[in-house]
Amino acid sequence: MRIAKLDLDDAYDPQVHDRFFELFDWSEFTPEELSLLPTVISMGGDGATYDIGFGALSRLLSTTTPIKVVVLNSGAYSNTGGQASTASLTGQDSDLSRFGAAHKGKQEDRKELGLIAAFHPTVFVVQTCTALQGHFLKSVMAYLNHNDSPAVLDVYTPCQAEHGIADAAASRHARLAVESRVNPLFVHDPRRASDLRGRFSLDGNPDADKDWATNTIEYVEDGAIKLMETPLTPADFALTEGRFKKQFRRLAADAVGVPVHEYIDLSAADQLGKTPFVWSTDDDKKLIKMEVASTVIHLVHNRRKYWRTLQYLSGLDVAKLDADHRVELEALQRQYKEALDARETSIDSIARAMSELAASSSAPPSGGVTAALTPGGGAAAPAAAPVAAANGSAWVALADEDVAKCNNCKTCYQDLPELFEKTRIVVDGVTKEVGHMIPGALARVKPTPELKAKAARVAANCDAEIIHAN
């Protein structure tokens, strides 16, 4: 193409150009030329990439070769019998690796290939799952259009037989793996910024600023359907899959049970005599408590540690510090105003009393007392202006009475998780999943132009047309 252009311009000079084009290769292509190349994809499971081919993969990622790598991550060697791989989760059973009921499942922690890849030079990394369609499609398009360096797409891929789930449950369990922090979403784009916080994005994860998202359990009590909200931990995820079946049993009636999310924060001394559990329901939809084995408790610790690492890399800890600092400043401003108001009230009272005393004693009036009580001898400082609301008027709204109209198109909580979350409600005696605004989110989240634009898109794409944006 370049030679043709030079020829058409009658500018081709063999003495000048032949040597260059003899050694010319893809590393000297312009971005426009790179975009014309066919996409070269290497596709394999977690066995081929996490384990057997890891050395070759690392060598590739250390170069600038724009090859795409797709990892279908089922957490087991699904094609050869289901042996455990380094992508397998702590505590899971895998075919050809279990040896009796006393075996506690896989003991090693999972390898985090996505993070390892991200810390190679200039590698574009996407960790996603197809159950969250918005994140998956948007991220795959960015992944395919990245031509500057290698790119890795790690897709959580449930294997029904190996995970012990129903054939039709793959999408639901893939979503649950994200929501429980077992397999969080993230994107690492080396072109986005020079610092880590700018390169890592956790968009698409529910309640990204918290340790755990929220789980809603539907149960029956006194013949009526009721809902209970609990933190959604990896133990809640593990309870739903056959590969962790041996790690759970009904909590004994005389046991001192502590919910898993509270138990893991207790000291070793405080854990003595207590049994961790997660809430579930029996065949009659009655609430029950399920005891959690120590191996799954280790899994919960490990997954929270990994999630907190991602939060740190994406700068959420800094955002939280900024938010906390803003709250502290607003509290100090209120305290200052209250103190100033109280001071002025005291000055007025003293001045009034002195004036009355002077009048009763026929002494000449004087402003000396007031002046002495005012800094600099001048007029008292005016009261501080009330602190304006940080975000001004509401810039996106979803009325509580409209939530029941939601048809769960997923647009709001997938595209704008800063403001919206998925929840479950009861409508006319039937439960349904809906999106709703996170309580207090508008007061915490600064309405940047980018977020306001996202809110406008969410409002425009809301199937039920119940979200409105300014």
Model pLDDT, residue 237: 97
**Strand pairing category for 186-188 and 275-281:** unpaired
Residues 55 and 131 both lie in one domain? yes
Residues 449 and 346 both lie in one domain? no
159 part of a folded domain: yes
CA 306 distance to own-chain centroid? 12
3-class DSSP state of 428: coil
Q: Which of 290, 316, 342 is the last residue of a domain?
A: 316
Terminal C-alpha separation, the chain: 49
Model pLDDT, residue 265: 97
Residues 134 and 247 both lie in one domain? no
CATH number at residue 80: 3.40.50.970
pTM of the model: 0.74
Residues 237 and 278 both lie in one domain? yes
Number of domains in the chain: 4
388 part of a folded domain: no
d(CA 61, CA 120): 6
Residues 288 and 344 both lie in one domain? no
What does the DSSP assignment read for 80-134?
Answer: GT-EE-TTSPTT---TTT--STT-----SPPP-HHHHHHTSTT-EEEEE-TTSHH
Residue with tokens 């989110």: 441
Residues 310 and 326 both lie in one domain? no
213 part of a folded domain: no
Model pLDDT, residue 322: 56
Q: What is the pLDDT along the chain (470 residues), one digit of tens a residue?
A: 999 999 999 999 998 899 889 888 888 888 888 888 888 999 999 999 999 999 999 999 999 899 999 999 999 998 888 888 999 999 998 766 665 666 788 888 999 999 999 999 899 999 999 999 999 999 999 999 998 899 999 999 999 989 999 989 999 999 999 999 999 999 999 999 888 889 999 999 999 999 999 999 999 999 999 999 999 999 999 999 999 999 999 999 999 999 999 999 999 999 999 999 999 999 999 999 999 999 999 999 999 999 999 999 999 876 555 555 556 666 666 776 677 677 667 777 777 777 776 666 655 544 444 444 444 444 443 333 333 333 446 889 999 889 999 999 988 988 888 889 888 888 888 888 899 898 888 888 888 888 888 899 899 999 989 999 88
Beta bridge partners of 69: 42, 152
53: left (phi over 0), alpha (psi -120 to 50) or beta: alpha
Residues 327 and 312 both lie in one domain? no
DSSP 386: P
434 part of a folded domain: yes
Q: Which two tokens stand for residue 435?
A: 């999106």
Residues 270 and 294 both lie in one domain? yes
240 part of a folded domain: yes
Residues 409 and 462 both lie in one domain? yes
100 part of a folded domain: yes
Residues 368 and 406 both lie in one domain? no
Model pLDDT, residue 98: 60
Residues 17 and 116 both lie in one domain? yes
Q: Which of 291, 316, 341 is the last residue of a domain?
A: 316
3-class DSSP state of 21: helix
d(CA 41, CA 70): 7
Q: Which of 316, 331, 357 is the last residue of a domain?
A: 316
Residue 72 makes CB contacts below 8 A (sequence gap 6+) with 43, 44, 45, 46, 155, 157
d(CA 208, CA 420): 12
171: left (phi over 0), alpha (psi -120 to 50) or beta: alpha
Q: Which amino acid makes up residue 339?
A: A
In terms of residue numbers, what domain contains 264? 219-316
Residues 343 and 261 both lie in one domain? no
429 part of a folded domain: yes
Residue 135 makes CB contacts below 8 A (sequence gap 6+) with 128, 185, 203, 204, 414
8 part of a folded domain: yes
DSSP 148: S
